[in-house]
């Protein structure tokens, strides 16, 4: 069965920085990536490189930063007043907020964001709201483990159900 719209795909892969070879993440047979193809849940170019492959096929391809998570944008780096991170007693939780910590936040419109703390001072916290892989050319190498038809519920809900999928 070929990978195309509304197929459930199970695959293993290794993701590296295409320029440096640095290991970023990896999945395997016991913890594969399982997704509903063609519903916009993954990078479009990732899906384009998998379309029409079948169980047992291997893949190896690169995605430029601009087609992945975009280039690093300095406009997404912000200096925020440190007092917004104080608890109800006015204390700054140094254990929770450290350089490198990823902090879930929301903007004034209620959109959820994740920011990485870059610097902390008494008055400000410098945060980067770019995707962690922004500016990184990606290289995926892996194997298709399984391809099946999606159920009507999976298509209706837009995600995979069952093992390695969403549980209702």
Per residue in 32-51, pLDDT (tens digit) is: 999 999 999 999 999 999 99
Mark whether 59 and 95 lie in a shared domain.
Answer: no
The pTM of this model reads 0.84
CB of 87 closer than 8 Å to CB of 95? no
Q: Put residue 75 in one of left, alpha, beta given phi > 0 → left and psi -120 to 50 → alpha.
A: alpha
pLDDT digits (tens, 9 = 90+) for 19-34: 999 999 999 999 999 9
Mark whether 65 and 141 lie in a shared domain.
Answer: yes
How large is the average pLDDT for residues 112-141?
Answer: 96
Expressed as residue numbers, the domain containing 57 is: 7-69+134-157
Instruction: Tell me phi and psi for residue 27, to 5 degrees.
Output: -120, 165
Residues 6+ apart with CB under 8 A from 98: 117, 120
Identify whether 1 is part of a domain.
no
Mark whether 83 and 97 lie in a shared domain.
Answer: yes
Identify whether 165 is part of a domain.
no
Identify whether 2 is part of a domain.
no
Q: From CA 134, how far away is CA 68, in angstroms rounded?
A: 8
């Amino acid at each position: 069965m070929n990978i195309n719209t509304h197929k459930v795909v199970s695959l293993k892969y290794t993701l590296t920085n295409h320029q440096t070879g640095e290991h970023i993440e990896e999945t395997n047979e016991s913890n594969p990536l399982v997704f509903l193809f063609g519903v916009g849940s993954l990078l479009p170019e990732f899906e384009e490189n998998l379309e029409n492959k079948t169980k047992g096929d291997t893949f190896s391809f690169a995605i430029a930063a601009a087609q992945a998570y975009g280039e690093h944008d300095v406009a997404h780096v912000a200096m925020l007043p440190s007092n917004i991170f104080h608890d109800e007693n006015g204390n700054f939780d140094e254990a929770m907020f450290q350089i490198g910590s990823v902090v879930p936040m929301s903007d004034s419109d209620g959109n959820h964001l994740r920011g990485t703390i870059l610097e902390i001072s008494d008055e400000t916290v410098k945060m980067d709201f770019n995707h962690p892989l922004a500016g990184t050319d990606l290289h995926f190498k892996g194997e298709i483990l399984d391809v099946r038809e999606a159920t009507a519920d999976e298509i209706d809900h837009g995600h995979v159900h069952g093992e390695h999928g969403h549980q209702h």
